[in-house]
Structure formats: structure tokens, C-alpha cells
Amino acid sequence: MALYHRHRPQTFADIVDQSVIISTLENQLKSAKISHAYLFSGPRGVGKTTTARILAKAVNCTERTTGSSEPCNSCTSCQEITANNAIDVIEIDAASHTGVDNVRQNIIENAQFKPTKSAFKVFIIDEVHMLSTAAFNALLKTLEEPPSYILFILATTDPHKIPATIISRCQRFTFHKVASDEMKKHLKHIAKQEGIKIDDDILSRIVHKSEGCARDAISLLDQLMASGDDHITAANSALILPSSSQESYTRFATLLFQKNAHDALAFIHTIAYEGISLDYFMRDMISYLRMLMIASVDEQLAVKEYDISDKEKKAMHECNALSTSNDILRLIDIALRRYTEMKTAALPQLPLEMLIIEWIGSTSQTATTTTTKQDTQIPLQTKTVPEDKAQQIEKNTENITVDIQQETTEIATNKAVEQNNEETKTIINNSTITQNDVEQQWISCISHIESTLPSLSFILKSAHIHSLKNNTVCISVLYDLHKDKLLETKTKKQVEDILSKTCNASIIIDVIVEKKEAQQQENLADLAAAFGGEVMPA
């Protein structure tokens, strides 16, 4: 029997980390005010079906005293439900019984008969969201007004797929993932009962891998126990938990933030040679980077969620000291893209190696800029030299200083002359531009626009220069639609920039519409011909 079957909770007190839900159900049982229908929703493996079975035992327990909520687990009814052979507790897997016929036969018709031996006939419908719409409609009437001896317990991992009409007729309880501390305590309890000693770091890795799912955590522990060792350590758990240790991805993250490409590549080659799953390593690495990202905003939240030790906390501080929040975000973005490539990569380690090179390259420009700025402020260093050489150095330094000053003066003078020439040239161009100049450059302007803004070329080819006044070029078009397009803020700016560059002058455009029947017909015919058609007479 699987470990999670042997250690399945049999009382409400054994349920792990669902205290609010359990307390509510216990109060209802003590006061004999249970509902006719319950909806248990939440992630997989957190106790929904188990709680449903314990509730079924509690309502049918013949030895449960008044004011008590726990089933005795010793009476015939409790033992039959525990053994999953109670005739009055019907468990239905909705994933394999989705149709309306199954609901009608297994639930509706069965609900008409009183329980054979128990006080309640209990229907536990697992993964109820898988039922079809017709099946839900058939179930609705019975669920709304069931006989007094009927109890429905619906369980689902996806409550959003359940119709609101069904949800509104149930008492809903939302189960949450099991907290790390509670999960670790539960695993220690199971290991103790099984006579197994397990290291704390292995327990932490199991808890991390299970992602809050108690059943997954117990299954991992079961696999580790299958080795037959009484003491489970990191060495004999490497095959079952192929993920990397905390130290490994802390080390890798540190190398990345230090921009140490050589050692980072060597590190990847080492873990690949040791047979560590690179897929698991990459996934854990992304999870670790997420922890760093959260810690950069709220360290306490990161410590609470990841349940890290003092040693791991110190390593987290060291990584955060080498990076900023933006660095972590950019590295996560690169890591996510490379992780998706791992399953199709020609070499398993290639995406990781590409991540290293891409990350170092993405930060090299910033590093170079910083280095350049630092190099411009070279600190003076004191060094003892002979007196005659000191005099010679001082003389050479004076000569170099004079040369630099002269060269700096010449550069500044040349820049000032060039700037004055440009300003003079602009003023001359701005003051001498004529309509004839613009018309001569119009074809060249259209060609330039056609290569950069093809959508405007048709409009400008059918337009012409109407007038020029104070460097404002008035363009005549045939249609209001063309005018509106050219006067759009973005389009107007683009055309003005191209005209100004082509004519070597600062130009502003204005647009007017000159509708000419002949031109309209001609352009319409050209447009129709361009699309393989013709203009039909009215």
C-alpha cells in the first residue's frame, strides 16, 4: 500500500493545515446543523476528498456521542467507509462519468431510496467540474431539494467551471496549499512512525518540490524510503530528487551577478557531468531568482514563503548586494526564454550556456560605460624615483600639458566656427527658399517618402504645390480624406521633416482641397485599375 494511503487522515484532527474549515465542520456536527450540500474547492492533494470521507464517517458514526464531532473509527459504519466499501457512501469520479445518463442512474434514481444501514446516504462527487451542462441541469433539482437523508459533497480543483446555480445551493469551503512548516512537521511525524530518519535539508527539498501539495510530498517521501535505508541523506536521495541544492543555484546566481562567464560556464559543465538534471536545475534557478526579486521588495515575505535557513538568508543578502531589482528582472526574463528552449535544444546545456553569454553581453555595455567614467578620474599614486629622472618627468609633463592646452583650444575654436557656419547656413536657407525650389525638390521628396512611408506616396503623387509663404508650403489635394490624412499630427511631422531635409530648410506644410471633376475621374480610374477593376458609368 502506498505511503499516502497508509497515512491518510482518519479524523478531523489529522487533517493538515486546514484549521478554519475543520473548525466550521466540527461546530456544525456538534450542533447537529449540517448542510445538505458542500462544495470543497482548492488545489490537488490538500485534503478535499479526505475531509469528505471523514465528514461522511462522522454523520454516520453510530458511536459518536452528542456534542462530539470526531468519528470513532471503530464502529461498523466507520470501518466500512475507511475500507471504501460502505454501501451508503457513493463516490463518483465525475471525470469518467460526465454524461447526463450517469448522473440520472447513479445519483437521481439512487437518491430516491433510503440508506440501507446508515443515517445518511452520502454522495461524494470528485472533480465535479467535469460534468457536462446537461448533467449539471439534471443534478440541479435533486441538489436543491434533496430528501432529508441525502448529503452531497462536491470536490473540485476548478470551481470556475461549475455553474453558479450549483454553487449557490452548496456551502463552499476553499482549501489552501499546506504551509511549509506544517508540511515539514507532518513529514517528520510520518517518518518517525515508519522508523526512518531523514535530514532536514532533504525535508526542505521535499516541501519545496511538493509546492504545498501534501499528497505529492508524501509520495516523494515514499520514493526515498523505497531505497531501504533507515537514514535518508542527500547522497541517497539524488536520483529521487534530481533538483540542485540551494548552494548550487546560489553559487550560479552569484557568478552571473559577478559577470564571471568563465567560471559560470565551467560550473554548468560540472553539474552536467555529474548527471544533475539541467531541466530541474533551470527551474529551481528561476524559482531562486523569483525569491531574490521578492526579497528586493519585501525580505520577510520571501523568507516566509521559501522557508529559508539563516545560511540561505545570508547567501540571499550577498546576491542582492551584487544586483539591483532591474538586474534580477532582466535575468529572469532571459532565463524564462532559455528554459522554454531546453526541451528542443540539440545539447541539453546549450540554453544555459547561451543564457550566460547573453546575460554577460547584456550587461557589458553598462559595465564598459562605468569603467570609462572611472578611467577618466585616475587617482594619483605616489612612487619614489631618482631625482634626475624626477626632473626629466616634470619637464615632460609640462610639455604634454602645454600641448594638450593648445590642442584643446584649437578644437574649441574649430567647433565654434563650424557652429557659426551651420547657423549662418540655416539662416540663409530659411530666408532664400522659394516655391520654385520646393517644386524642383518635390519629385525627390516623394521618392524619399515612398521608400519610408509607402502609404503616403499615392496621396502626394496626386497632389501639387499650391503656394509658398513664409516657409509654409501649401499642398493642394483632391479629396478631404487626403487632407485629413496629411494633417494628422504624426503624418504632418514626418512630411515636414522629409521636406525640410530635402530642401535644406525649415518647412511647415498646410493642405487645401481643390476638387476637379476630371482629376477625380482620372484618379478613380487609376485606383480601380490598380485593383484590377474599372469604373462603371452611373
DSSP string of 150-177, one letter each residue: EEEEEEES-GGGS-HHHHTTSEEEE--P
Structural domain boundaries of the chain? 3-174, 180-237, 246-369, 394-422, 435-530
Tell me which CATH code domain 3-174 carries: 3.40.50.300
DSSP at 378: P
pLDDT at 377: 46
DSSP at 464: E
The amino acid present at 190, given as its one-letter code, is: I
pLDDT at 484: 82
- 180-237 folds as Helicase, Ruva Protein; domain 3 (1.10.8)
388 is written with which cell numbers? 634626475
CA–CA separation, 51 and 173 (whole Å): 11
- 246-369 folds as Zinc Finger, Delta Prime; domain 3 (1.20.272)
Which one is the CATH code of 435-530: 3.40.225.10, 3.50.50.60, 3.30.300.180, 1.10.260.40? 3.30.300.180
The DSSP string of 282-350 is HHHHHHHHHHHHHHHH-HHHHHHHHT--HHHHHHHHHHHHT--HHHHHHHHHHHHHHHHTGGG-SSTTH
pLDDT at 528: 63
CA–CA separation, 19 and 140 (whole Å): 30
Q: What is the pLDDT along the chain (538 residues), one digit of tens a residue?
A: 788 889 999 999 999 999 999 999 999 999 989 999 999 999 999 999 999 999 999 999 998 888 889 999 999 999 999 998 899 999 999 988 888 888 888 898 888 889 988 899 999 999 999 999 999 999 998 898 889 999 999 999 999 999 999 999 999 999 999 988 899 999 999 999 988 888 887 888 888 778 789 999 999 888 888 877 788 877 777 667 754 566 787 888 889 988 899 999 999 998 888 777 888 888 888 988 998 898 888 888 877 766 666 777 777 888 888 888 888 999 999 999 999 998 888 888 899 999 999 998 765 545 544 444 444 444 444 444 455 545 554 555 555 544 555 555 555 555 554 554 444 444 334 446 788 888 878 887 887 777 767 667 777 877 888 888 888 888 888 878 788 888 888 888 888 888 888 888 888 888 888 865 555 566 666 666 666 666 666 5
Which residue reads 594619483 in cell numbers? 380
3-state secondary structure of 91: strand
CA–CA separation, 506 and 190 (whole Å): 83
